[in-house]
Chain A
């Protein structure tokens, strides 16, 4: 029954994909024959005017370009011409660094907030104000104080990943069932052992949810941050290709950003499944 469902869903997905590609192809195909005009003039006007072909690339243009990128993802021909793989590696590297620092800060802080009603009340106003700030709003301040655009981007990732993880950790820790804490109390479990053997496993699913939200936001923000700081990364690549008017590459970047974001989320979803316990 469920395998049947999976099969039908896959078929439907494929049909939707095929329809989308077909519609895309039809919308961007060449519609008129070559108009008679002076060849010099035609060159200036571009294909849009001369043949009615849309400036928007068709699916086969994109596919051909993807193949080209796949064949050689890691070439490096100077600052403005690097392979897609290199650009992605830069972005993922920044996200991972900023995100890992955020994990190291957010989870212990969230633990303290969750354990202590005093800290929770005292820190709550700060968190509430900091949380809704667009991470990019920190950029000028980061550039001014850090004076390094690459580190500033990492800082922006750090600051945007921090809050969901911190809030979820605090919530998860505060919501640990009283009966489990009572078990630990009657067994005279020392505080540190209690934190690692009772509270952490009990709160782990909630913490992982926060981590998933954070990695999603971090991946959204890195693209924008790299457009601002420039130099390397998939966000810079998108903007650079826009300046080059290479819509094909822009479309490919969008696709790749989506795929990597999905993979990051799936990786954490897998970890979340490991720590989830049935009740």
Chain B
């Protein structure tokens, strides 16, 4: 990948920093000089331990927070605030409880296209409610839905405004394993079908392996860094059921687990000589090049 190919770099995070005032005075630097980019139509995941600033990165991409330094660029334009081009699926689903499923989705649609007639809004809403498999429940209030169904509404709401980027903050972490699996399938299907660019925070290594084309590894905060960007070596048409039968699956999984267990902590103290914050190394763990660490860990 060439560095100055702006066509590729649909989303580019350029040297952003975020600092919070410390309780006893002074400042805590969550991260600074953070660089990475994402391509159009790509699904990226970011993994790292709690407190490394993953959510802050997502909030900056959403425009809900502004970086103290640096800039986040989307499609050639610096992010200056929230935008209807970037839809967020919240961890807590954040549905408006006094509105029905249809009302929640319509609220987003009529925000994006205020000039649309009620029928147009309804038609678009029903299309996306159908897409996430909630047809028949459109007149229910969120309180009448299960956790998985609520998150489906959140997904429908985010997709219905046809955003350039879908931002997801651990959208499935509050769900049971079975529901989580189904929703992962659906998000993956929808994103592949529509070529949706997506960015997702997760704690779940398997979720990252299944969904992501690229996985950004963040070290522990404060002072978090992008240790590396992992390219997913698995074929694009992978299925959830036979994921673990893919030849590169364990190489990738071990690499990620190894990072979360030890390297996320130790990376700061043993930064490789050729490491550059501006160009974090891009790694593609495959069975053929399985590093020694994986064997000893097993």
Interface residues of A (CB under 8 A from B): 177, 179-180, 182-183, 185-189, 193, 197-198, 201-202, 204, 275, 277-279
9 smallest CB-CB distances across A and B, nearest first, come from A278-B143, A179-B94, A187-B111, A277-B98, A277-B97, A185-B82, A186-B82, A201-B98, A186-B88
Q: Contact between A187 and B108 (Cβ–Cβ < 8 Å)?
A: yes
In this complex, how many residues of chain B approach chain A with their Cβ under 8 Å: the count is 22
**Which residues does chain A contribute within 8 Å of B267, judged by CB atoms?**
none
Does any Cβ of A come within 8 Å of B62's Cβ?
A: yes
Question: Hey, which chain B residues are within 8 Å of A204, CB to CB?
Answer: 98
Say yes or no for B15: interface residue by CB 8 A criterion: no
CB distance from A197 to the nearest CB of B (A): 7
Which residue of A has the minimal Cβ distance to B103?
A: A197
The contact string, 1 if C-beta is below 8 Å from chain A, for chain B 48-62, is: 000000000000001
**B96 near A: Cβ within 8 Å?**
yes
Q: Contact check, A188 vs B96: say whether CB atoms are below 8 A apart.
A: no
Q: How far does the alpha carbon of A193 sit from the alpha carbon of B94 in the complex, in Å?
A: 18
CA A202 to CA B88, docked complex, whole Å: 20
Q: Which residue of B lies closest to A193 (CB)?
A: B111
Most buried by B among A182, A275, A279: A182
Measured CA separation A189–B114 after assembly (Å): 10
Name the residue in A179, A186, A197, A198 with the highest tally of chain B Cβ atoms < 10 Å from its Cβ: A186
A182 lies within 8 A of B92 (CB): no
Q: By the criterion CB–CB under 8 Å, are B83 and A188 in contact?
A: yes
B90 at the interface (CB under 8 A from A): yes
A188 to B83 Cα, complex, angstroms: 6
Binding site for A on B (CB under 8 A): 62-64, 82-84, 86-88, 90, 92, 94, 96-98, 107-108, 111-112, 141, 143, 161
Contact assessment for B64 and A186 in the assembled complex, using a CB-CB cutoff below 8 Å:
yes
Which single residue of chain A is at the shortest CB-CB distance from B157? Answer: A183
Is B97 a contact partner of A278 (Cβ separation < 8 A)? Answer: yes
Are A186 and B143 interface neighbours, CB within 8 A?
no
Known A-B contacts A197-B107, A277-B143, A278-B141; the reply to A183 vs B94 at CB < 8 A is yes
Give the Cβ gap from B60 to chain A, nearest Cβ, in Å: 13
How far apart are the CA atoms of A182 and B95 in the complex, in Å?
Answer: 11
- Choose among B87, B92, B97, B141 the residue with the greatest number of A CB atoms under 10 Å from its CB: B97
Return chain A residues, CB-CB under 8 Å to B161.
187
Contact across chains for B96 and A186 when beta carbons are under 8 A apart: no
Q: Would you mind naming 13 contact pairs between A and B with Cβ atoms under 8 Å apart?
A: A179-B92, A179-B94, A180-B96, A183-B88, A185-B64, A186-B64, A186-B82, A186-B83, A186-B88, A201-B96, A202-B96, A277-B97, A278-B143
Cα A182 to Cα B108 in complex, Å, equals 12
Known: A179-B90, A277-B141, A277-B143. 12 other contacts (CB 8 A): A180-B94, A183-B88, A183-B94, A183-B96, A185-B82, A186-B84, A187-B82, A187-B111, A187-B112, A188-B82, A188-B84, A189-B111
* Cβ-closest chain A residue relative to B154: A183
Instruction: Name the residue on A nearest B62 (C-beta).
Output: A186
> Are A182 and B111 closer than 8 Å at their CB atoms?
no
Whole-angstrom CA separation of A202 from B63 in the bound complex: 23
Contacts of A183 in B (CB 8 A): 88, 90, 94, 96
A179–B112 alpha-carbon span in the complex (Å): 19
